[in-house]
């Protein structure tokens, strides 16, 4: 059975409506290991060797965070910067993560219609996430279409429950993909 590492970053989970529920749904999926970065490293002092060992044990990763200023919260970037090192994840001899799969899971305050070339944000989510896509590719990983929950501020409790169920199914699909 494939193993999935869910790398999660939310700077204020106590105030979260949507991601907190998505994360709860993820906890109920077998073969998923959750790394809650802000809980584990509130001072940004990432244990690089530990994170690299964790990453080596998993076949699939999900990079999960709310969309902040068209990107990720800073601790997620710190994780990328410190963990995906030269000579380990890329460069000469850097093949530790080659062949793994990466999926992105993001939530946005903006509605789906805002993330189009005619919309208020002018670009699609995939376009905003290009640096992450290329980071994954440079390290020899395959990068897939993101799972996105849009218009978070307008979601009712019932809508959020439906999104949590959809996220659970998405994670199960990530585990079963080939
Ligand atoms: C600092 C900050 C920056 C944000 N930037 C964006 C953004 O660029 N685009 C967007 O659609 N929503 C943006 N939002 C809204 C968040 O994406 C939204 O509040 C979050 O996905 C809701 O999830 P939660 O209930 O788990 O916090 C931003 C929110 C904060 C606090």
Q: pLDDT tens digit string along 95-125?
A: 999 999 999 999 999 999 999 999 999 999 9
Using the predicted structure, report yes or no on whether residue 34 has a pLDDT greater than 90: yes
How far does the centroid of ligand 1 lie from the alpha carbon of residue 107, in Å?
7
How far does the centroid of ligand 1 lie from the alpha carbon of residue 16, in Å?
10
Q: Is 152 in the pocket of ligand 1 (CB under 6 A)?
A: yes
**pLDDT higher at 177 or 142:** 142
Q: Is 120 in the pocket of ligand 1 (CB under 6 A)?
A: no
For atom 24 of ligand 1, which residue has the closest CA?
A: 16
Using the predicted structure, report yes or no on whether residue 12 has a pLDDT greater than 80: yes
Mean pLDDT of 50-67: 98
CATH number of the domain encompassing residue 170: 3.40.50.360
- How sure is the predictor about 178, in pLDDT bands with cuts at 50, 70 and 90? low
Would you state the pLDDT for residue 25?
A: 98
State which residues form the domain around 51. 4-176
Q: Is 66 in the pocket of ligand 1 (CB under 6 A)?
A: yes
- How sure is the predictor about 142, in pLDDT bands with cuts at 50, 70 and 90? very high
Give the N- to C-terminal CA distance of the chain in Å, as an integer: 12
The domain total for the chain is: 1
Would you state the pLDDT for residue 177?
A: 82
**pLDDT higher at 71 or 178:** 71
* Exposed e or buried b per residue across 80-114, where buried means at least 16 C-beta atoms within 10 angstroms of its C-beta: bebbbeeebbbeeebebbeebbbbbbbbbebeeeb
């Amino acid at each position: 059975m494939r193993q999935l590492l869910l790398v999660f970053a939310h700077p204020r989970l106590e105030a979260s409506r949507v991601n907190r529920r998505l994360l709860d749904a993820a906890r109920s999926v077998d073969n998923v290991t959750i790394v809650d970065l802000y809980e584990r490293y509130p001072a940004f002092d990432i244990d690089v060797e530990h994170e690299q060992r964790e990453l080596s044990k998993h076949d699939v990763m999900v990079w999960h965070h709310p969309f902040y200023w068209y990107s990720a919260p800073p601790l997620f970037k710190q994780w990328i910067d410190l963990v995906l090192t030269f000579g380990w994840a890329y460069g000469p001899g850097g093949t530790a993560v080659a062949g793994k799969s990466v999926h992105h899971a993001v939530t946005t305050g903006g509605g789906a219609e805002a993330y189009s070339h005619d919309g208020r944000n002018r670009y699609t989510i995939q376009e905003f996430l290009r640096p992450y896509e290329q980071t994954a590719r440079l390290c020899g990983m395959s990068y897939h279409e993101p799972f996105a929950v849009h218009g978070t501020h307008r979601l009712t409790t019932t809508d959020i429950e439906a999104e949590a169920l959809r996220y659970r199914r998405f994670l199960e699909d990530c585990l079963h993909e080939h």
